[in-house]
Structures are given as C-alpha cells and as structure tokens.
C-alpha cells in the first residue's frame, strides 16, 4: 500500500494546491491513503468549518493538528463535526476531539493515525509525546500494523528521537511545524519510514508562507506586526511512502508540485 503524507497547509493558496494536486498524486502514485497537517489552513492559523468543508472530498483522508489547533473562534465546537480531524493526542484529555483513530484506506485496509505535539520551544501545554506514543501505538497495533504518526515539533532532535523510538512499531513517522522540507527521508532499520519535516503547502516566495518584507521589518525593528499569508506562487510539499503487506516501509519519495 502507498500512503501520501502532506506538510502544513497554509491559507487559501495551500487549500487550492491540495484540491488540485492530491487527486492527481493519489492516482499517479497509487496511494490508497492520505494524511495532511491542516493546522494553518484557516487564514494561516488553525482550522475552521469553512476551509474543512471546502476540502471535503479532495482526497485527504485525515487532517492532523498542532499548536494552532484552537486559534480560530468556535473550532472547539466545530471539531466534533469532523471525525477525520485530529488534535494532538498528548494535550489534556478535557480538550474536545481526539488525537488518534482508526480509518479505512481506499483498498479497505485499516490505518491508525496519531497526531502528537512536541514540547521543546512550544507554548501549548502538553504531556510527554513519547509516553503518549508508547501507549497509543500499543493500542492501535491490536487492530492494525499500518500506523502513521505526525509529530508536530520544533527540533530535529525531538523528531529523530521519536522516529527511532517507534522504529519497527509504526509504518511512518513524519514531522511537521517548521514548514521547510528536510532531505533526510529514510526507511529506518526496523521498517519505519521517517522524515524530520515534510514541508508546507504554501507560497514559495515567502517566510513560512508569510510576507517576507514584513517579517524582516519585525526583526529589524522589534515592533509587533501582522504577518499576512501569501496565497499565490504556491508549492505543495509531500512524501509518498511504500508499505509492504505487514505495514513495513520499503521505500519513500519526496514530491514537489507548483500550482502555477
């Protein structure tokens, strides 16, 4: 089975690229399942019902979250309408929604998906992602060996450590949050596909999808400023992972598509 994983979707431009390319990529690479981090899809910050409705039927089976999961007003209520949207699993249990689940791929295979949040340099309070992953993966493996983990974290050391920790127990560990694709994609010794960061679906001529001139001014002056999303010149970054019948990775390939 082939799985398509996609980095942070940023703004309306990112959504347009997802709608355009995900169906094509699924067909081209024969992907039976797709996971995308969507926590920047609503105006560059968080989720909301409108953008999720817009992406309904686009070919993304599960949207994972991160530290901006609750940035949009009312999403703590709206998330209950979207069983395929995961908030981080290691935030307090009182938060609405869920952080992991079992889903069905196009070929009928059960796929477990887990959304986890890193703690280093993150403002959002959360529990240890390693302990949460340990518990959740044991539970999911009772149902399926096909498990995909999105680790939304800042540092490469955190991401590499979690990949090594879960090697042989899950199919894929992919990193999100830093918006820049890393060239370290590999299949680890135990059969887990790993990449520190898949990248983003956002403007090529930007700083993490935002207007670079305004961000540079912020660095120069130290004054607060708004950073509008750039919604043209969009590049989609993704990775295709090939799995064998036991859920072990046998190969992976970075994919880049430019909307214009």
Sign of CA dihedral 197, 36, 1, 191: positive
Helices 156-166/129-140 angle, 10° precision: 30
Q: Assess contact for 190 and 168: CB atoms under 8 A.
A: yes
Between CA 89 and CA 113 the distance in angstroms is 10
Is residue 68 among the annotated active site residues?
Answer: yes
Bridge partners of residue 33, in order along the sequence: 3
What is the separation, in whole angstroms, between the first and last Cα of the chain?
30
Catalytic residue among 68, 152, 177, 179: 68
The total of other beta-carbon atoms located within 10 Å of residue 26's CB is 21
DSSP string, 83-131: TTEE--TTS-TTSSS-SEEEEE-TTS-EEEEEEEE--TT--S----HHH
Choose among 29, 79, 26: nearest CA to 52.
79
- Report, as residue numbers or ranges, the catalytic residues: 68
């Amino acid at each position: 089975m082939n799985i398509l994983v996609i980095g942070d979707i940023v703004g309306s431009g990112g959504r347009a690229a997802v709608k355009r390319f995900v169906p094509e990529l699924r067909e081209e690479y024969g992907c039976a399942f797709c996971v995308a981090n969507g926590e920047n899809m609503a105006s560059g910050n968080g989720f909301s019902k409108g953008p999720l409705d817009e992406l309904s039927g686009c070919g993304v089976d599960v949207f994972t979250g991160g530290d901006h999961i609750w940035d949009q007003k009312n999403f703590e209520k709206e998330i209950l309408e979207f069983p395929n949207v995961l908030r981080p699993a290691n935030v307090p249990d009182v938060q609405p929604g869920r952080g992991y689940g079992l889903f069905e791929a196009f070929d009928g295979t059960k796929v477990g998906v887990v959304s986890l949040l890193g703690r280093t340099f993150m403002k959002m309070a959360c529990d240890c992602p390693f302990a949460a992953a340990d518990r959740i993966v044991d539970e999911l493996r009772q149902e399926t060996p096909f498990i995909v983990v999105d680790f939304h974290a800042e540092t490469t050391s955190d991401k590499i450590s979690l990949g090594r920790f879960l090697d042989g127990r899950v199919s894929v560990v992919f990193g999100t949050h830093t918006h820049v694709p890393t060239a370290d994609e590999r299949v680890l010794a135990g059969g887990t596909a790993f990449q520190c960061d898949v990248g983003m679906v956002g403007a090529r001529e930007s700083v993490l999808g935002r207007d670079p001139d305004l961000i540079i001014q912020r660095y120069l002056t130290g004054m607060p400023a708004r950073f509008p999303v750039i919604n043209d010149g969009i590049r989609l970054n993704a990775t295709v992972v090939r799995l064998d019948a036991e859920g072990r990775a046998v190969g992976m390939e970075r994919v880049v598509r430019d909307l214009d």
